[in-house]
């Protein structure tokens, strides 16, 4: 899976190629396929996703900020929090608490 987004009906759509012009195929039920996983990319995405959950939980627990949205892209993970602005001190607090949770294996 190269990219995931929500379709007009709200359901996830999985693009399965890095090229946007990938032809759609109708595969009969029971067709055997071979799939490989780009493990470094997969591990990086799992780490981003876990980090997003940790950051969102801390932002909510410490500051009461809901997570409005998040996106995992080729250039990183983006989290939109419900706050008009974030101070450097608040960022430092989130960073410290996230690292503290990681070290304590919470």
- Is 0.85 topped by the overall pTM? no
Question: What is the CATH topology of the domain spanning 3-103?
Answer: 3.30.980
Using the predicted structure, report yes or no on whether residue 6 has a pLDDT greater than 70: yes
pLDDT digits (tens, 9 = 90+) for 34-70: 778 889 988 998 999 999 999 999 999 999 999 999 9
Question: Where does 1-106 have alpha helices with state H?
Answer: 39-58, 88-103
**pLDDT, the chain, mean:** 86
Q: In whole angstroms, give the CA distance from residue 71 to residue 76.
A: 8
- Neighbour tally for 94: CB within 10 Å: 19
pLDDT digits 0-9 by tens, 61-98: 999 999 999 988 777 889 999 999 999 999 999 999 99
**Mean pLDDT over residues 5-22, rounded?**
71
Q: Which residue has the higher pLDDT, 24 or 103?
A: 103
Domain boundaries, the chain: 3-103
24 against 55, higher pLDDT: 55
């Amino acid at each position: 899976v190269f990219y995931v987004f929500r379709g007009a009906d709200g359901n996830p759509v999985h693009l399965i190629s890095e090229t946007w012009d990938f032809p759609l195929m109708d595969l009969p039920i029971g067709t055997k396929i071979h799939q490989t996983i780009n493990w470094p990319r997969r591990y990086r995405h799992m780490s981003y996703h876990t980090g997003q959950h940790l950051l969102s939980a801390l932002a909510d627990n410490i500051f009461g900020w809901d997570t409005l949205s998040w996106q995992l892209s080729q250039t990183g993970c983006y989290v939109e929090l419900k706050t008009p602005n974030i101070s450097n001190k608040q960022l430092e607090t989130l960073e410290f608490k996230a690292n503290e949770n990681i070290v304590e294996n919470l």
